[in-house]
Amino acid sequence: MTQAINTSISLRVLARLLSYPDAALRDDLADMRAALLAERALGAARKDELLALIGTLEHGDALDHEARYVELFDRGRATSLHLFEHVHGDSRDRGQAMVDLTRTYETAGLFLAPGELPDFLPVLLEFASSQPSSQARSLLGEMAHLFNAIFNALQQRQSPYASALGALLELAGESAHAVAIAPDEALDEAWEEPEVFGGCSSKGQEKPGQEATSQPIHFVKSSVAKATASTGVPS
């Protein structure tokens, strides 16, 4: 029987790459490159794309990188890294989903730092990295349709961050495919109080063959895995 390839380091690198590119993250880039090269979880072509992203973050103006990150991930829903934004939108279901997900983390021994939201993709990837490889792959597979929607939105914007979502699809054992991406709402419209709380789903973010509706994401629970809230890459 073939032993599952360990994906924990790659998942932690991806968690860091998708985090805000502050000085601490830039200090970790060399270690992240070495970690990616050492692990066999990703194919050569995907690794090359991620190494190019690391190279991009290493060079250029740091403030420009930070501003582009905010513009890309915080200014519209299509590229949001808060996964429940894609599933529940502004509906009341989102709050309960947050509570349930936080409990899942705590059952596994991971406790969020103040201000951290449980559906933020880097946090989710930290949790996945603490799970056995087979369970991590299953978890990623359940979220693959969301990764694919974000991947398409990032490709549409010609962002090198698309490589990170492509890597997640690869680790999930899925292939990227084209989906229609709805135009982002203007900020003033996105921040308006919704008229009703019937759930939200954007085209391309439902699973294949599934009607567009508000659907919860199911996460693997483990009573033995331990993790910390740190998002650093292991040395």
Output the pTM of the full model.
Answer: 0.74
Question: Which residues neighbour 163 within 8 Å (Cβ) at sequence distance 6 or greater?
Answer: 46, 49, 50, 52, 53
The token duo for 94 is 């989102």
Tens-binned pLDDT, residue by residue, of the chain (235 aa): 345 678 999 999 999 999 999 999 999 999 999 999 998 899 999 999 999 999 999 998 999 999 999 999 988 789 999 988 877 556 566 777 778 888 888 888 888 888 888 889 999 999 999 999 899 999 999 989 999 999 999 999 999 999 999 999 999 998 876 555 555 554 345 434 333 323 333 333 344 444 433 333 333 333 333 333 333 443 3
For the chain, give me the number of helices (H) and strands (E)? 11, 0
Q: 175: which 2 tokens? A: 């292939």
d(CA 81, CA 73): 6
Place of tokens 């590119």: 21
Sequence spans of domains, the chain: 8-182
Helix or strand (DSSP H, E) at 26? helix 23-38
